[in-house]
Amino acid sequence: MTSRKPHPDHPEDMSVDATRTSTQSASGPAPLKQEAETKAPEPGDGFVFEEDFDRLEAISRSILKSTLKGQKLMGDAMRRSLEGDPLMRPQIDPMHANPEILQTWEHILSDPELIMQAQSDLYAGYLDLWSNATRRLMNSEKTEPVIEPAPGDKRWRSKAWNDHPLFDAMKQSYLLNQRFLMGLVDGAKGVDDTARRKVHFITQQMVDALAPTNFALTNPEVLEETFKTRGENLTRGLMNLVKDLERGKGRLALSQADPDGFEVGKDLASTPGEVVYRNRVMELIQYAPATDTVRKRPLLIAPPWINKFYILDMRVKNSMIGWLTEQGFTVFLISWVNPDTSMKDVTFEDYIREGLFAALVGVERATGERQADTVGYCIGGTMLGSALAWMAAEDDDRITSATFFAAQHDFELAGDLLVFADQEWLSEISRLMDAQGGVLDGRTMADTFNMLRSNDLVWSFVIRNYLLGREPQAFDLLYWNADQTRMPKALHLFYLNNFYRQNLLSKGELILGDHRLNLKDVKIPVFMQASQQDHIAPADSVYRSAKLFGGEVEYMMAGSGHIAGVVNHPDAQKYQHWVNTALPEDHAEWLDGAVEYAGSWWLHWRDWLKAQTDEQVPARAPGDGALKSICPAPGEYVKVRS
């Protein structure tokens, strides 16, 4: 792989650190230290100063109040469980993974070479760790670590994890045990890929949960805070836990961001525009122009319905929608409904007909242009690809080019979400949706995605909210992440079963509109964006999808992950991207021939779009065409909270 331009350090998907406070450095709190000396009490004063009694009494009252409230909530949750509430029913094995776990460990125990090697590595690591810890404690000798955390593992940012011998030894001991256990699971021979994937995921969840960072007595940052506040952090944390249980009606609704920190339409999703069409599945938004002339061919964006669209229109400084209007595009966007139980039988085909196809009609009525360029993001891209094959089967040429953001059409290498695509999990999801009247609630969706990055999206907030006793911050990306949507049963099960589980589209076996779909029939120009560290739509999976189309395809890979890899405003001057107009057999070969550039890929994509056609016309204001304004952007559907 060649490189012509410098690039920044490797980024992380959540580029803003949601757990950092104004009083804490990026490297964490200072190591534990002794409290400053105070004047000794005079005889008769007792062991506790008089001024501390009010604080202790307040702490006691708070603990009592929190305990009583927590007991009531736990009692309500138990009552709901006993009454048969399926959402509250305890699930010992919700993923039905016991057979795979037993199978994997049978293979491990029948492989003495694997066990002996793993044990040998573990013992050697512990001997070195014991030797190093002893030298540090006895002689204050500096030693090299036996094992270090993976790059980007933010759990160990506190200086105490490196500077304090006890906590350093604790950290390395945990990492040795993690390597030992995960090495056994991943090294088991004879285990099929589906079982290995599920067992790896569950084992990693268990290992992450048992990290010493997650417990008050083994986390130096929590101990420091407890020492400094005399336990008030734990009291505040208990109150935060009670509030989250109350908000979830007995289910833990972990707070990641201040729910009142932003207002959609004011702080977020504020690019000017109008809703010009609405039906039961979507609102069509036409954005106001930001230039005197605009590109003649409109641009229609289909975001994922599994999240709300405003990830593409966050704050002004990082809004893709706003940026596109500044580049002279007439931008239309589908804002999906947040469905209720009345939509439980709405299908994937309905979303194409009443979503994408209806939007194309709306774009033509609003602008007079029959043809449009399109964008599909994530699951919206899967829908767009399916619709293109459907349109090709009917000789429908209204779409002239397609851009895909982190979208998959071949799900053979579809990443971590494959764990949730086997028949057992589909049965569990079906049970949950039936219990909710035919929709999957946003809380369940959020929990599923948070599990994929549990250290960043679960345990870091457990520590922050409940052990450090801090209030959630106003952080736009996490606010969006928590603003989840519901999912109709028919639509969601079709998607999981036909794409993730059976991978029918890539095999040419998916049937929609009475047509057997074949992506090779799609001959229009295609631009496919992937992200280097995407755990939802891995780069090599997107590359396999790029190979399915029958026309000219440009595949491009951005730095970072599923969100930051897509939403990367050029003004931020962050990350990097790789370009290679060739499309060789596999992703590794493509990467070898790619050229790396610093910064956002948006400019490259803009130039690609304009190379298709850049004919200019006077700017079009929303409502000037045959479709009149219904309400201002961002519309009403996006404001419905689950």
Whether residue 460 sits in one domain with residue 422:
no
Amino acid at 2: T
Give the CATH number, domain containing residue 327: 3.40.50.1820
Residue 62: band (very low, low, confident or very high) from pLDDT cuts 50, 70, 90: low
Whether 27 is in a domain gets the answer yes
The label of the residue with tokens 């130096």 reads 220
Q: Tell me: the pLDDT tens digits for 8-61?
A: 333 334 433 333 333 333 333 344 443 334 444 443 344 444 556 666 666 566
pLDDT value at 6 more than 50: no
Whether residue 333 sits in one domain with residue 221:
no
Residue 545: band (very low, low, confident or very high) from pLDDT cuts 50, 70, 90: very high
Q: Tell me: the pLDDT tens digits for 291-312?
A: 999 999 999 999 999 999 999 9
pLDDT at residue number 50:
54
Average pLDDT (320-332) is 98
pLDDT at residue number 193:
86
pLDDT at residue number 36:
39
Of 360, 349, 366, 350, the residue nearest 396 (C-alpha): 360
pLDDT at residue number 214:
96
pLDDT at residue number 548:
97
Query: Percent of the chain, pLDDT > 70?
Result: 85
Whether residue 513 sits in one domain with residue 384:
yes
**Is 378 a catalytic site residue?**
yes
pLDDT at residue number 300:
98
pLDDT at residue number 70:
60
Contact in structure between 418 and 411 (CB atoms under 8 Å): yes
The bridge status of strand 487-488 relative to strand 439-440 is antiparallel
Give the structural domain span for 93: 19-32+49-254+451-472
Higher pLDDT, 153 or 14: 153
Instruction: Tell me: cis bond preceding 165? Omega within 30 of 0 counts.
Output: no
**Which has the minimum average pLDDT: 13-27, 261-275, 356-370, 508-522?**
13-27
Whether residue 159 sits in one domain with residue 91:
yes
pLDDT at residue number 86:
58
Whether residue 278 sits in one domain with residue 183:
no
For residues 161 and 141, give the distance between their C-alpha atoms in angstroms, rounded to a whole number: 16
**Which has the minimum average pLDDT: 7-21, 89-103, 540-554, 581-595?**
7-21
**Which has the minimum average pLDDT: 83-97, 390-404, 454-468, 474-488?**
83-97
Query: Percent of the chain, pLDDT > 90?
Result: 70
Q: Tell me: the pLDDT tens digits for 587-641?
A: 999 999 999 999 999 999 999 999 999 999 999 999 999 999 999 999 999 999 8
Whether 9 is in a domain gets the answer no
Q: Model-level pTM?
A: 0.85
For residues 160 and 565, give the distance between their C-alpha atoms in angstroms, rounded to a whole number: 33
SS (H, E, C) 404-449: EECCCCCCCCCHHHHHHCCHHHHHHHHHHHHHCCCEECHHHHHHHH
Output the CA–CA distances (angstroms, integers) from residue 277 to 469, 562, 633, in the order listed. 46, 29, 12
pLDDT value at 449 more than 50: yes
Q: What is the mean pLDDT of the chain?
A: 88
Whether 1 is in a domain gets the answer no
The bridge status of strand 553-558 relative to strand 526-531 is parallel
Higher pLDDT, 65 or 533: 533
Residues in the chain: 642
pLDDT at residue number 64:
67
Residue 129 DSSP class: H
Whether residue 236 sits in one domain with residue 292:
no
166 CB neighbour count, 10 Å cutoff = 14
387-421: burial string, b at 16+ Cβ within 10 Å, e else: bbbbbbbeeeebbebbbbbbbbbbbebbbbbbbbb
Whether 559 is in a domain gets the answer yes
In this structure, which long-range contacts are made by residues 395-399, counting pairs with CB atoms below 8 Å and at least 24 apart in sequence? 397/371, 398/360, 398/364, 398/370, 398/371, 398/372, 399/360, 399/371, 399/372, 399/373, 399/374, 399/524
Collapsing DSSP to helix, strand or coil, 175 comes out as helix
What is the chain's alpha carbon radius of gyration, rounded to the nearest angstrom?
27
Full strand arrangement of the beta sheet holding 2-3: 2-3, 595-598, 576-579, 553-558, 526-531, 399-405, 372-377, 299-302, 331-336, 282-287, 273-278, 631-632
Contact in structure between 371 and 399 (CB atoms under 8 Å): yes
pLDDT value at 554 more than 60: yes
For residues 580 and 594, give the distance between their C-alpha atoms in angstroms, rounded to a whole number: 5
How many domains does the chain fold into? 2
Contact in structure between 255 and 305 (CB atoms under 8 Å): no
Average pLDDT (409-416) is 91
What is the token pair recorded at 215? 């417990």
Whether 570 is in a domain gets the answer yes
pLDDT value at 274 more than 80: yes
Whether residue 432 sits in one domain with residue 459:
no
Whether residue 172 sits in one domain with residue 107:
yes
For residues 642 and 447, give the distance between their C-alpha atoms in angstroms, rounded to a whole number: 14
User: Mean pLDDT highest for which of 13-17, 139-143, 538-542?
Assistant: 538-542
Of 572, 581, 73, the residue nearest 319 (C-alpha): 572
Whether 265 is in a domain gets the answer no
Residues facing residue 287 across a β-bridge:
273
Whether 423 is in a domain gets the answer yes
Which of 378, 524, 563, 633 is labelled catalytic? Answer: 378
Whether residue 219 sits in one domain with residue 296:
no
For residues 164 and 460, give the distance between their C-alpha atoms in angstroms, rounded to a whole number: 21
pLDDT at residue number 69:
62
Residues facing residue 375 across a β-bridge:
301, 403
Whether residue 630 sits in one domain with residue 520:
yes
pLDDT at residue number 388:
98
Whether residue 74 sits in one domain with residue 27:
yes
For residues 210 and 219, give the distance between their C-alpha atoms in angstroms, rounded to a whole number: 12
Which distant-in-sequence residues (6+ apart) come within 8 Å of 527 by Cβ?
401, 402, 403, 404, 553, 554, 556, 605, 608, 609
Whether residue 619 sits in one domain with residue 496:
yes
